[in-house]
């Protein structure tokens, strides 16, 4: 699931996971779990996060593979928050990494930037999220456009990218994603 911060990736990933009985894998949740449990990968992640640095792509991919290796057998999973960079996508493809995780479909939620800002500021009020201030939102957009937006081209070239209008209601967006996923599963 791809899209800018505030596009609804997490919401839609949870809905799709339930609807299609897939595992929802959130890298944010993986990082928090590993850090709270003090695993070697969590301790390594904390060493970056505590000094305000981004975790290396290899750490993110290793944490993902560690989780998937220990996960019960499932039909498939929805990745939420990974890949975030072209290097991570290449690593999932087995380029420069020992393991390969095939990506069969990528949903990209398209939402206008003004709407994204409104959603994130509203989310901050409703959920009390400290990472949804105007300054932090601007930095997240900057990171998204520099690092994650290029994934659209990467996955379009592979023929697995599907664009979804994320400017509608949660229900209508879900219905459109379901239509696309069902068509791909045939």
The residues that are catalytic are: 9, 84, 123, 129, 140
Per the document, the length of the chain is 186
What does the angle CA 33 – CA 18 – CA 186 come to, to the nearest 5 degrees? Answer: 125
- What is the separation, in whole angstroms, between the first and last Cα of the chain? 20
Which residue in 11, 40, 41 sits closest to 24, CA to CA? 11
Collect contacts of 24-27 with beta carbons under 8 A, ≥24 apart.
Answer: 24/77, 24/78, 24/80, 25/64, 25/67, 25/68, 25/77, 25/78, 25/79, 25/80, 25/82, 26/80, 26/81, 27/60, 27/63, 27/64, 27/79, 27/80, 27/81, 27/82, 27/84
């Amino acid at each position: 699931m791809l899209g800018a911060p505030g596009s609804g990736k997490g919401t839609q990933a949870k809905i799709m996971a339930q609807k299609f009985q897939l595992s929802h894998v959130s890298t944010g949740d993986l990082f928090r779990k590993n850090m709270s449990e003090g695993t070697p990968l969590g301790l390594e992640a904390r060493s970056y996060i505590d000094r305000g640095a981004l975790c290396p792509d290899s750490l993110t991919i290793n944490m993902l593979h560690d989780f998937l290796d220990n996960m019960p057998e499932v039909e498939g999973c929805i990745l939420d928050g990974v890949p975030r960079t072209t290097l991570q996508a290449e690593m999932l493809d087995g380029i420069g990494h020992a393991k390969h995780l095939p990506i069969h479909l990528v949903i990209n939620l398209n939402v206008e930037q003004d709407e994204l800002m409104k959603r994130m500021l509203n989310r901050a009020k409703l959920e009390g999220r400290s990472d949804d201030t105007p300054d932090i939102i601007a930095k997240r957009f900057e990171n998204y456009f520099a690092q994650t937006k290029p994934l659209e081209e990467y996955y379009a070239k592979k023929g697995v990218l599907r664009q979804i209008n994320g400017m509608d209601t949660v229900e209508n967006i879900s219905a459109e994603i379901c239509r696309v996923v069902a068509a791909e599963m045939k």
